[in-house]
A = this chain, B = another copy of it.
Amino acid sequence: MKKRIVIKLSGRIFGMDNVKILKDYARFLVKISKVCQPVIVAGGGNIARRYINYARSSGADESSLDELGIDISRLNAKLLIYALKHRAYPHPPTTLQEIRNAVDSGVIVVTGGLHPGHSTNGTAALIAEKIQASVFLNATDVDGVYDLDPNKYKGAKMYRRIALKKLRNMLVHKESIAGGYDLMDLLTLKIIERSKIKTRILKADIKTLEKAIKGGPVGTEIIFPKK
């Protein structure tokens, strides 16, 4: 059995301004699928945010907004599935069980969010847990976790490794997370912690992802305390 890798792909990738990018990702996934089995979790991105803002202005409740984000992330997942043609499971699964069954069948699986109350990051962590992935790559809009916001502070330094507890402390005091809100959240960390999932936060960029899959030290690795 090939080792399984969960990749959360930032919604920005699915922005539709660049029709070539998903084809590049498709080619890349087919290539790496010779050495591992990738499971992709698509984010919602810009269009999700537009729908959510529109609905929020009408007074929709938070879990309905979550559902809109899930809907769009599944549409994004479909776009990548079409680009992958016969190499992909033919639709985005909608339950953990369906994902596991799809993964067991050996094909590349692309999915979106699953349930209100879970970010796509959290969903990706649950999937990594369910299919016993050997690594969870959280491909975001930033290079990794910084001590200070790199957009504001010239001397901001990226961590190559960060203890889970330290990252959690940064999240609890949200304003101090360098690089943005969606990088990681508390539920995601809880799941990573309970199942000791090997996790790396890195730039959503094909070359960077390729290095990470080969075990290279890109982005920021989350580390656990030794018992």
Chain A interface (Cβ < 8 Å from any Cβ of B): 16, 19, 22-23, 26, 47, 50-51, 54-55, 57-64, 67-68, 71-72, 74-75, 78-79, 82-83, 85, 90-91, 96-97, 100-101, 104, 114-118, 122, 126, 129-130, 132, 168-169, 172, 185-187, 190-191, 194-195
Contact = CB atoms under 8 A, between A and B. Distances in A.
Contacts of A85: 58-59
Contact of A96 (B54, B57, B116, B130): B116
A140 B104 CA distance: 34
A126 B130 contact: no
Q: Which of A63, A72, A104, A169 has the most CB atoms of chain B within a 10 A radius of its CB?
A: A63
A78 to B, nearest CB: 7
Most chain B CB atoms below 10 A, which of A51, A58, A114, A169:
A58
Contact of A82 (B64, B90, B190): B64
A100 B190 CA distance: 28
Given A96-B116, A115-B114, A79 B101 contact: no
Given A63-B130, A115-B115, A117-B187, A55 B82 contact: yes
Contact of A58 (B63, B64, B83, B168): B83
Contacts of A91: 97
Nearest to A65: B82
B187 A129 contact: no
Contacts of A19: 54, 57
A188 to B, nearest CB: 10
Given A62-B129, A186-B186, 15 more contacts: A16-B54, A22-B54, A26-B58, A54-B79, A58-B85, A61-B195, A62-B195, A63-B96, A63-B130, A90-B100, A96-B116, A116-B130, A172-B172, A185-B190, A186-B187
Nearest to A172: B172
A186 B191 contact: no
For the complex of A and B, the 8 pairs showing the least CB-CB separation, nearest first, are A60-B82, A58-B82, A186-B186, A58-B83, A115-B115, A187-B187, A55-B82, A63-B130
A75 B62 contact: no
